Amino acid sequence: MSEQPAMQMKIIPFNEEIIPGRFAGKTVIVTGAASGIGRATALRIAKEGGRVIASDISSERLEVLVADHPQLNLVPVVGDIAVQEDVDDIIKTATAEDDLYGLVNNAGIMDNFQTITEVSDEVWERVFSVNVWGTMRMTRAAIPHLLDNGRGSIVNLSSAAGLGGGAAGVAYTASKHAVIGMTKNTAVMYGPDGIRCNAVAPGGVVTNIGGQILSQRAAERIGAAMMVTSPGIATPEALAATITWLLSPDACNVNGAVLSSDGGWKAF
C-alpha cells in the first residue's frame, strides 16, 4: 500500500549500496522501525555500523525485524510515541549505555482523505497524537541528551502532504505541515549548539501505511490528478537513502531543510 490512493503505478527501481562504517559508534533512535520506511532506515543504519534503538507500537513486527537480522545491532523497544511514559522508556534505553547521536521521527499514520467538513474529532485527534504530539514528545526528550553531547542530528518524516494541499485529507495534511514548522523552529533554536534538524517529504512509497479514499470530494478533486502527476512510487530503501544522508555528518551544512524525496512529484 502507499500513502497515495490505490492505483496502478510503476515502482521506481533502486539498488541500495551500503556505505561501510558510516554510522559506526553512533546510536540512533528510529520510531516506527518495524515497517516500511522506518524498517528500511533502521536496517540501513545498522548495516552501516550504527546501534539502532528500533522502536514501534507493534511488538510482533519488531520481533520479526530483530529475529531476521541477528547480526545487526538492533535494540527493540515497544512503545507508542503518543504516550509520554513510552517516550521516556525509549529515551532511557537509548541513553543507558552510549551517547545518543540521532533521532529519526518516522512513526506516523495516515487519514482517509476526509475534508474539513467530513473529518471526525477522533481521526483528527489520533493523527495529531502520533504525527505531531509524538514527534514533539520524542524530540523534546532527546534534545537534552544531544545538548550534553554537543552534537546531534534529527530527521523528521513530513510528506508531500506537508508541502501542499493535494496529497491527503485535512488531518494528515495539517499534521505534516506542523512537522515542518517543528523542524524549522528546532533547527533555528538548537543549530548553534551543534544539533541539526531536517525533514524529508516523501511522495508515494510502497509500505503498509494505507490511505483509502473515503471522501467522494477528495476522490474527484485529487485522486485523478495524483495519477497523472506522480512519477511512480518509491521503495522504502530509496527513502532510507535520503534519510540516512540527512542524518549523517555529510549533511553537516544542512539544517532546517525540507528535502523532497518524491521522484520530482512536487516539482510538477
Active site residues: 158, 172, 176
Q: Which residues of 33-53 are buried (b: 16+ CB within 10 A; e: fewer)?
A: bbbbbbbbbbbbbbbbbbbbb
For ligand NAD (CB under 6 A), the number of binding residues is 30
CA distance 190 to 192: 5
Q: Is there binding between residue 93 and ligand NAD (CB under 6 A)?
A: no
Across 40-174, the runs of DSSP E, i.e. the strands, are 51-56, 74-78, 102-105, 152-157
The residue with cell 512529484 is 265
Q: Is there binding between residue 34 and ligand NAD (CB under 6 A)?
A: yes
* Binding-site member from 37, 146, 170, 197 for ligand NAD (CB under 6 A): 37
Please report how close the Cβ of residue 113 comes to ligand NAD at its closest, in angstroms.
13
Going by C-beta distance under 8 Å and a sequence separation of 6 or more, which residues neighbour residue 134?
31, 80, 81, 82, 87, 105, 107, 108
Please report how close the Cβ of residue 82 comes to ligand NAD at its closest, in angstroms.
5
* Beta bridge partner(s), residue 25: none
CA distance 53 to 44: 13
Per CB under 6 A, the segment of 22-30, 92-100, 204-212, 240-248 that binds ligand NAD is 204-212
Q: Are 3 and 204 in contact (CB under 8 A)?
A: yes
* Residues between 163 and 202 that touch ligand NAD (CB under 6 A): 202
* Binding-site member from 5, 38, 102, 169 for ligand NAD (CB under 6 A): 38
Q: Which is nearer to ligand NAD, 2 or 215 (CB)?
A: 2
Q: Is there binding between residue 123 and ligand NAD (CB under 6 A)?
A: no
Cα of 128 vs its chain's centroid, Å? 14
Q: Is there binding between residue 120 and ligand NAD (CB under 6 A)?
A: no
Per CB under 6 A, the segment of 7-15, 22-30, 74-82, 247-255 that binds ligand NAD is 74-82
Per CB under 6 A, the segment of 35-43, 141-149, 189-197, 252-260 that binds ligand NAD is 35-43
Q: Are 160 and 151 in contact (CB under 8 A)?
A: no
Query: Which residues of this protein are in contact with ligand NAD, per CB under 6 A?
Result: 2-3, 31-32, 34-38, 56-58, 61, 80-82, 106-109, 130, 134, 157, 159, 202, 204-205, 207-209
